[in-house]
Amino acid sequence: MAMKIRLARGGSKKRPFYRIVAADSRMPRDGRFIEKLGTYNPLLPKDSEDRVKMDIERIQHWLAEGAQPTDRISRMLEAAGVIEKKQRANLKKAEPGKKAKERAAEKAEKAATAAESANAPAEEASAE
């Protein structure tokens, strides 16, 4: 069985509340799970200790059994000091998209042609 440690959403509309669960990866997000490992309430302030509650011993047990944490859970576990921090780098984050690059190239091309045409009459007048 491919095990995951992930979030299962609860709460009403616009009021999310999550359970941290160990579940088979083939089960639906809010469906059947094997064990509840903690809770996460994103509506609480970030410095609140009730925002994320985890049973660290059981999480370490499931990690030892081969369960893979999702990205969000791995960030929570890194903050709690359970697992070491992964190196993450989104190198394309600051890079403009394809259309923006095309617009910038067109703009630079127009500026270059405008500068050439502005300099051409001045060069002809100085040649005479």
> Mean pLDDT of all residues in the chain?
86
pLDDT digits (tens, 9 = 90+) for 25-61: 888 888 888 999 999 999 999 898 899 999 999 999 9
Give me the pLDDT at residue 80, please. 87
Residue 23, classified by CB atoms within 10 Å of its CB into exposed (0-12), middle (13-18) or buried (19+), is buried
What's CA 23's distance to the chain center, in Å?
22
Q: Look at the block and give the residue holding tokens 């944490």.
A: 69
pLDDT over 90 for what percent of the chain?
A: 45
For residue 23, the model assigns a pLDDT of 92
Count of CB atoms situated within 10 Å of the CB of 16: 14
Beta carbons of 37 and 63 less than 8 angstroms apart: no
Which pLDDT tens digit goes with each residue over 101-124? Answer: 999 999 999 988 888 887 766 555
Mean pLDDT calculated for residue range 72-99: 84
pLDDT at 97 over 90: no
Quote the pLDDT of residue 28. 84
In the chain, the N- to C-terminal Cα span, in Å, equals 86
